[in-house]
Amino acid sequence: STTFVSEMLEEVADRFSFQLQQRKIQIVIRVENGVTNLLLDRDKIDQVLDNLVSNAIKYTGDEGAIRLEARKIEKDMLEISVQDNGIGIPKKDLTRIFERFYRVDKARSRNMGGTGLGLSIAREIVKAHGGTIQLESELGQGTRVIFTLPIQQEEEDEL
Ligand code: ATP
Ligand code: MG
């Protein structure tokens, strides 16, 4: 059904508010003007967002920052990105990061919990909806995951 994109992003942040407060991680949400209500498979997109935000929290130090952004790009696509300023991912692991059960260096993941499925599930969902997902990362600097979704139908603007 129809979803307000800014509401959707605020609600992801709300679901993680306890962890965010505990870790003193800031979350910034930015929705480009003109991105309002869209027809989205809300349950599935929430699953993608939860996966990405949980990673951003897990792999970011205390007092880090997470940025959630949504904007329209060419050909009626919505682009959503989740960016953190955490530990980052080594170059050599970047090509395998979306594989099922793939985790970067067991030592650093051991204490974090998880199975290595989050990103592969996120990719399956995004692909099933006709979008793409990619990840950019700089070791020690942070990570940004960007996914796109086709804009199926736009409701009339409220104005
Ligand atoms: P699960 O999602 O099943 O709980 P997971 O988080 O380890 O477990 P994925 O979400 O698939 O699995 O991520 C795979 C690996 O990619 C992680 O183990 C981690 O090493 C690395 N990774 C994912 N997101 C980030 C991030 N934002 N910053 C740094 N490393 C990341
Ligand atoms: Mg994960």
Ligand nearest to the CA of 120: 1
Give the ligand whose atoms come closest to the C-alpha of residue 101: 1
CA 121, 48, 68, 116 dihedral sign is negative
Q: Is pLDDT of 156 > 60?
A: no
Q: Which of 62, 63, 101, 69 is nearest to 83 (CA)?
A: 69
Pocket of ligand 1 (CB under 6 A): 51, 55-56, 59, 84, 86-89, 97, 102-104, 109, 114-120, 143
Over 70: is that where the pLDDT of 56 sits?
yes
Instruction: Give the mutation target among 48, 103, 137 for probing the ligand 1 site: most ligand atoms within 8 A of CB.
Output: 103
Provide φ and ψ at 104, rounded to 5°. Answer: -75, 125
Give the helix ranges, DSSP H, for 92-155.
Answer: 106-110, 118-128
Residue nearest to ligand 1 atom 29, measured at CA: 88
Query: In the structure encoding, which two tokens stand for residue 62, read together?
Result: 């205390």
| Distance separating alpha carbons of residues 8 and 113, to the nearest angstrom | 26
Query: Which residue reads 């205390």 in tokens?
Result: 62
pLDDT tens-digit profile of 20-38? 999 999 999 999 988 888 8
Q: What are phi and psi of 61, to 5 degrees?
A: -70, 170
Tokens of 90: 């080594």
Q: What tens digit of pLDDT does each residue of 119-149 get?
A: 999 999 999 999 999 999 999 999 999 999 9
pTM: 0.93
